[in-house]
Amino acid sequence: MNAIISASELASALAGEHPPVVLDVRWQLSMAKAAGEPAFDGRAEYEAGHVPGAVFVDLDRELASAPGVAGRHPLPDVADFGAAMRRAGVSAAVPVVVYDGGQGWAAARAWWLLRWTGHPDVRVLDGGLPAWEGALSVDVPSPAEGDFEPAPGAVGLLDADGAAALARSGVLFDARAGERYRGDVEPIDRVGGHIPGAVSAPTTENVGADGRFLPAEELNARFKALGAAGDAEVGVYCGSGVSAAHEVLALAVAGIPAALYVGSWSAWSSDPQRPVAVGPEPQ
């Protein structure tokens, strides 16, 4: 099953006899609070216009637990996540399509969580809401309760020790911008740099100017050139397990399975006992 869906394919599916559940996960990593400005309000954006029938899902509250030593966006409590998905109308036998404002990170986080907890049919709208060519709705639906019961473990998950080991035994991609990987700047976390042995693979290089994924063959060639070739096991991390989910999605489009280190740099760097590498090389 393809991990992404085009806007035209989604429009056709919504017009069919068995439409998918659609989740709107608009979210932005914003420094507005630090600047004293209002933070991005995904729900307000949703209420101003969304794909007809879509249900809003809050990334910070429903796709993550409270920030702490486990990172800025730790895994949500599984029971709470399941309840949130059922409220949104998610059922095991009904396809799910997820979208966000176009960056793709938040939608990929929802995609990954649903896949990790065992949902068999989840796709991300390629290009997000900007790719949608149909009319938008301001009606907020009240979906019937779904029956989805999460069963964690369906796809790969890494902790800090697993990520450290994979950086030596396989391939661990760092999905952040190159300057954060190198340690040139670090606007959020305690210290800059990367996990020793990790390879820089910025998420932004997986998409074109329109925000849509590059063709599968191009993505496959990119990741193979970075080391994801043969039988190598692959993992991904980022700042807090959100943009890394987008890289896991890109790898899925390329036909390469990959595990996600959800804690990512926000958890790794918070532990002063963890080693830190700087510069352009994995080390």
Please say whether the dihedral angle defined by the alpha carbons of residues 161, 163, 167 and 170, taken in this order, is positive or negative.
Answer: positive
Per DSSP, the residues of the chain read --SEE-HHHHHHHHTSSSPPEEEE-------TTTTTSPPP-HHHHHHH-BSTT-EE--HHHHSS---BTTBSSPPPPHHHHHHHHHHTT--TTS-EEEE-SSS-HHHHHHHHHHHHTT-S-EEEETT-GGG--S--B-----PPP------S-SS-EE-HHHHHHHHHHSEEEE-S-HHHHHTS--SSSSS--B-TT-EE--GGGGB-TTSPBPPHHHHHHHHHHTT--TT--EEEE-SSSSHHHHHHHHHHHTT---EEESSHHHHHTT-TTS--B-SSS--
Please list the active-site residues.
Answer: 238
